[in-house]
Amino acid sequence: MTIVVAVARTQRIVVVGGGVLGTMHAVMARRRGFEVVQLEREAEARGASVRNFGLVWVSGRKPGAELALALRARELWEELGGRVPGLGFRAAGSLTIATEDAELRLLKEAAGLPDADQRGFELLDPDGVRTVNPALRGEFAGGLLCRADAIVEPRKVLPALRGYLAASSEDDSGYQWLPGREVTEIAPNAVRDHTGAWHQCDLVILCPGAALTGVVGRYQSFLARDGVRRVRLQMMQTAPMAQRVTTSVADGDSLRYYPAYDLPGRSQLAPQSGTAARTRAQLLLVQRADGALTIGDTHEYDEPFAFDVDSDAYDHLAARAEALLGAPIPRVQRRWAGVYSEVTLGQALYHRSEVEPGVVLVTGPGGRGMTCSPAIAEETFF
């Protein structure tokens, strides 16, 4: 849904939410010449946007509209990465590693699809995998290289983009960042924060992430149309590892989750067992710019979510990582969980609705939200 009518009259926009969707909306709104005020309830965003892998992930996307959105977003990330070095954008590519014959056959099937070139897919034997990524010294049957996949630094992206917005606005009227302001009321052409201050505007963009109660709670009927639900994931990060891990890495379990691999060969994969099945785990591994390894993840769909983290899941993911690296991972320094919201019904890739005249709600991109955020924001304004 493109918000053509509202945008045509707009000069000043209030963005609610300081995550990557809100911040990319601020970027795209400034590109259209609008004044932007961005409010965030926390002193700094603490939601999914800073808890993720920083994977700009094209490889797993469903053919068609989802792939097109991710490819457009990948272009925008690269362009922004050139302007904002603080994003840490790296066109590192990824390797999805097969340890069983059925996984390898499925990777071969994916590499043979008509859109394989757009993703930069190439099927590699074990020596080919080690040539591309010498850190992978474990036992495996082969891997699928995706040259289109990229990496950004999730803990740095938001302040870096805000710095870029501030630097490219001549004065405060161009871009204003207001942290520590929870929006509690929405009226035509204005929002009120918890201090009682009103912020006037022509258009409100709500990007609340997974905070679907509070001020957004009254729009549940809109969210229900796309079946928006919340998902909780567990993550960890190690101390820096001296050796470079040149690409991001996924294991064969990821073939069970990403729609790109919804191919005939998927039915031949052995069912997940034990901890992997219980926690719906897949291994994704990304080396941060400082050498640390970000490792995840699990998927919890039923609320109320656990408030604590489960060690069995971490042991499983660490063992998978060590099996592919053929070496111990450095000491785990950080563990956390994150929650995102995702659409589950119909063809929508995320939720966008005009919930009231001049008030647009954007959420629910799920596990593709970091990847697709610049393209989603672009679509709001065109």
Binding site for ligand FAD (CB under 6 A): 16-22, 39-42, 45-49, 51-55, 57, 182-183, 207-211, 214-215, 233, 235, 296-297, 338-340, 363, 365-371
| Of 284 and 325, CB closest to ligand FAD | 284
| Of 45 and 135, CB closest to ligand FAD | 45
| Of 97 and 212, CB closest to ligand FAD | 212
Least separation in angstroms between CB 264 and ligand FAD: 27
Strand ranges of the sheet holding 175-178, from the earlier edge strand across to the other edge: 175-178, 35-39, 12-16, 203-206, 359-363, 351-356
Least separation in angstroms between CB 183 and ligand FAD: 4
Least separation in angstroms between CB 39 and ligand FAD: 5
Give me the DSSP letters along 111-153: HTSTTHHHHTEEEE-HHHHHHH-TT--S--SEEEEETT-EE--
Least separation in angstroms between CB 1 and ligand FAD: 17
Angle among Cα 84, 95, 56 to the nearest 5 degrees reads 30
| Of 3 and 48, CB closest to ligand FAD | 48
| Of 22 and 138, CB closest to ligand FAD | 22
Least separation in angstroms between CB 294 and ligand FAD: 9
Distance (Å, whole) CA 309 – CA 317: 13
The closest residue (CB) to ligand FAD is 369
Least separation in angstroms between CB 152 and ligand FAD: 9
| Of 97 and 204, CB closest to ligand FAD | 204
Distance (Å, whole) CA 316 – CA 357: 49
Element containing residue 107 per DSSP (H, E): helix 101-111
How many CA atoms within 13 Å lie on the side-chain side of 156? 13
**N-terminal to C-terminal alpha carbon distance within the chain:** 10
